[in-house]
Amino acid sequence: MPLYEYYCADCHTKFEALRPMSQADAPIQCRHCESMNTSRAISLFAAFSKSESGASQAITGAGGGCSTCAGGTCSTCGIN
Ligand SMILES: [Zn+2]
For the chain, the average pLDDT equals 75
Has residue 16 been placed in a domain? yes
* Cα 13 to middle of ligand 1, angstroms: 6
Q: Is residue 48 part of a domain?
A: yes
| Higher pLDDT among residues 3 and 66, named by residue | 3
Distance 64 CA to ligand 1 centre (A): 30
Cβ atoms within 10 Å of 43's Cβ, excluding its own: 14
Provide the residue type at 42 as one letter. Answer: I
pLDDT tens for residues 28-63? 999 999 999 999 997 555 444 455 555 555 444 444
The predicted structure's pLDDT at residue 59:
46
What total number of domains does the chain contain?
A: 1
Domain residues for the domain of 64 are 3-71
For residue 80, pLDDT over 60 is answered with: no
Sign of the Cα torsion 1, 7, 54, 80 reads: positive
Q: How far is the CA of 16 from the centre of ligand 1 (A)?
A: 12
Cα of 28 vs centre of ligand 1, distance in Å, is: 11
**47: number of CA atoms within 13 Å, CB side?**
11
Report the distance separating Cα 58 and Cα 41, nearest Å.
21
